[in-house]
Every structure is written in structure tokens, then in C-alpha cells.
Structure 1
């Protein structure tokens, strides 16, 4: 059983950066690579789920 990510963002690039988005309350910036066959990735710090626009509605 999987738990839903706290936030989901649709992105246009397969390589994105996540810093938590809350200034000093965020987390260190990490670069994430969305697998082209999967179409999504989750941030290991904040669990934000990034979905590539080509996979929107399919994930």
C-alpha cells in the first residue's frame, strides 16, 4: 500500500530541482531525474511528487 505524496507538481522537464520551496524551512536543493518510462519521481526529503506533463492523468 502506498501513501499519497503531500504535494504533486506537473513539470515540463525530466530533470528538476527541489528545495522544499519554503525558504529557510525547506531542505537542501536536490536534483531529481524523472525516468522517461515511468514519468514521475518523488523528492526524498519532502515527498513532493513531480509528474512530467506527458504523463499527466496517466500516473
Structure 2
């Protein structure tokens, strides 16, 4: 059984920051690198799936 990511965001850069997006209720800002062959990365804090625009609809 696989679980879906709680949020999927389409981004324009392969290096992106995630802070949970909820101000003081979020999490520490982390910088994530999207692998060029995979097209997405998941945040280790909030499990958001960050998908590069080139891979939208493919992952």
C-alpha cells in the first residue's frame, strides 16, 4: 500500500526551499535538490511532493 503525498507543488527550479508554508506552524527551511532524471523530490519534514514543471503530469 502506498500513501499519496499530502501536497504536490509544481516548481520552476531544480533547487528549491521548503518551509512547510504555514508561517510559525511550518517547519525549518530546508533546501532540496530535484534530481534531473527523477523530476521530483519529497520534503523530509512535511512530505510535500515538489515536481519540476518539465515533469508535470509524468510523475
**TM-score normalised per structure 2:** 0.97
Deviations 1:8-55 (A, max 9, x none): 000000000000010110000000000000000000000000000000
Measure the CA separation in 2 of the matches of 1:20 and 1:58: 24
**TM-score normalised per structure 1:** 0.97
Q: In structure 1, what is the equivalent of residue 47 of structure 2?
A: 47
Q: Which runs of 4+ in 1 moved over 3 A?
A: none
Unaligned runs of 5+ in 1: none
Unaligned runs of 5+ in 2: none
Residue-pair matches, total? 59
C-alpha RMSD of matched pairs (Å): 0.6
